[in-house]
Amino acid sequence: MNGDEALDFLYQEGSYKDTELVPKPSVILLDLNLPGIDGRDVLERLKQDRSLKEIPIVVFTTSSSPKDVEFCYQNGANGYLVKPMEADELQKTVQAFVDYWLEVNIPPIAN
């Protein structure tokens, strides 16, 4: 999914316009290097939107640049994970994300 499609899905626009209403995600795993609208723009848009800003966004990207990390946290990211290059390390990182965000973390109660 590219940045434009992610926004269309969340706002139920474009090809998602006539789809059944889907619940808001409990967390968004966001890559910064998306085609089209990149992850930085998606992050900014979602965190400025009253109806979506409460959804935790965890950035999952290849960039370990301090500039990217700082940008993401300043714009409301709730976590920042660097994608490891080795498959076993990638699996461990994804499992740690799932364990924390989807099993241990208690999200805010939806309004």
The closest of 37, 44, 82 to 60, measured between CA atoms, is: 82
Per-residue model confidence (pLDDT) at position 110: 61
pLDDT one-digit tens code per residue, 60-95: 999 999 999 999 999 999 999 999 999 999 999 999
Lookup: tokens for 58: 């965890």
Q: Where are the domains of the chain?
A: 3-104
CA distance 77 to 57: 5
pTM: predicted TM-score of the whole model, two decimal places: 0.89
Q: Please state which CATH class domain 3-104 belongs to.
A: alpha beta
DSSP 102: I
pLDDT at residue 111 is higher than 70: no
